[in-house]
Structure 1
Amino acid sequence: MTRATGKGWWTRYGEVLDERARDLAELESATVAFRSFEWLHVPGLLQTPDYMREIFAGRNPEVSTVLIDKYIEFRLRRQQVLTEEPLPHYHAVVHEAAFHMHFVSRKTMRGQLQYLVEAAQFPNVTVQLLPFKAGSYPAIAGAPFTIHDQEAPQLATVYVEQPLNPLFLGDRFHIDQFGTDFARMSSVSLAPLNPTEAHEESSFGLVQHLRYVL
């Protein structure tokens, strides 16, 4: 990373997106393993274009369709990090609440659930759902976050989503704290999303239930 120029595909979005969004894309490009927790939305790297469009439009109702198209293009390009060699490992824990929010239409959410099942079949992707019945919230942090593990452990970074400005934390205290939180949430989440495990106490079982109730 110290030899990197800081220039990549993300630089061409300089007139559309702020520096933090471009910093995130650069960070993702060097990440060898992701540990991500979301409780209001499906993680960005696993979102469908329809889901993105409705989220962006709802969050910024006055933004033009042209600009939203650029946002979607940028996020879809970010998603390629999961399919480019060398494949990073991506482990996401998504709270059940994210699928009950009415931020998108039922049709869009059904399509999003189907894509989650498909993405979870990638050899480097693990998706777990944290159900309401898991009981007490097992983490200290109250915001969605992603731990970006780097080839050099000392360069690990936590990206914390905030309403105004996201945070990039690189000190060992926060890396360990968020790592412990993620491990706790993973331990109380349902078994990883796998169509061969459709029983009630599995992430796929919950997805099947959500498809029925949506």
Structure 2
Amino acid sequence: MSHIETGRTAIPEEKLRALAAAYGCTSHPLVDGLCELSEATGRGWWSPYKASHNARALDLAELEASAVAHRSFQWMYVPGLLQTVDYMRCLFESGQPDSPQAVDAGIEFRQRRQHVLADGSQRFHAVIHEAALLMKFVPGDVMRRQIEHLVTMAELPHVRIQLLPFKSDVNSTTPGAPFNILDSQVPELSTVYVEHPVSSVFLGDREHLTQYNSAFEHLSAVALPPVALQGERKCYTERDSLQLIQHLLYTL
């Protein structure tokens, strides 16, 4: 069992179904989802990057590729799937004293991750704190292009972007670390990715899923209405994310 749990040994579908029955699992969608996972090879576009990236980065890429929806909350940075190349380069060069080759590899890997938003098959919802667009670790012109890119991405029908202003009513239970919720077709197989500079973690138990789902719902509720094209806006007197973006662009 330990070899199966750690992925060193595969388990045939009939044995997996028998084990699920023995453990009292009666959810057919969950068992079917587990069987699909057991048959997956784990190989994808991320496989060639094993030599240059840690296991958590590869696991995140795999989860993003298989998710049906992705919800992201960020305090200090623009979510990776929404970053421009110039913004990425500034982050990699200032945060890691790596070689130019390592920086280029990091940018390439992150760009490949962004492909999940290209075909519209995955819903993406980001809540970004206003602070992330005021940080000075990237030059003003880079931040300007990054903010403009957010507006462009928000035009996609499957992308929803909200800004969380400093004056928002965030309660004390809000997680202090940025996090991503990777929603699976089977809700029980969804995963929370909590980012940390030392060691990011993946959480998949019901208690944590409930906690972070509730946190994201609260953040979305207190954030400004999403970025929308002028033609789609129903009211010009209420504050929304686009107005805050326009203000931030004016101050750069």
Output the TM-score relative to the length of structure 1.
0.95
Match in the other structure for 2:107 = 72
Distance 1:115 1:5 in 2: 35
Query: Which SS does the other structure have where 1:2 is aligned?
Result: helix
Contiguous gaps of at least 5 residues in structure 2: 1-36
Match in the other structure for 2:130 = 96
Moved more, 198-207 or 4-13: 198-207
Matched, 1:208 2:246: yes
Query: Which SS does the other structure have where 1:194 is aligned?
Result: coil
Match in the other structure for 2:221 = 187
Match in the other structure for 2:190 = 156
Q: Which has the higher contact order (CA 8 A, sep 6+)?
A: 1
User: Runs of 4+ in structure 1 displaced over 6 angstroms?
Assistant: none
Distance 2:183 2:148 in 1: 28
2:101 alignment partner AA? V
Distance 1:137 1:51 in 2: 30
2:75 alignment partner AA? W
Identity of aligned residues (%): 48
Output the TM-score relative to the length of structure 2.
0.81
**CA 1:137/1:49 → structure 2, altered by over 3 Å: closer, same or farther?**
farther
Query: Which SS does the other structure have where 2:92 is aligned?
Result: helix
Distance 2:237 2:244 in 1: 8
1:1-214 map, 5 Å: 1-60=37-96, 62-84=97-119, 87-137=121-171, 139-196=173-230, 197=233, 201-214=239-252
Distance 1:170 1:138 in 2: 23
2:148 alignment partner AA? Q
Shift of 1:31: 0.5
Contiguous gaps of at least 5 residues in structure 1: none
Match in the other structure for 2:32 = none
RMSD between aligned alpha carbons?
Answer: 1.3
Shift of 1:194: 1.1
Shift of 1:67: 1.0
Higher alpha-carbon Rg:
2
Shift of 1:199: 5.6
Shift of 1:137: 4.0
Shift of 1:140: 2.9
Q: How many residues align?
A: 212
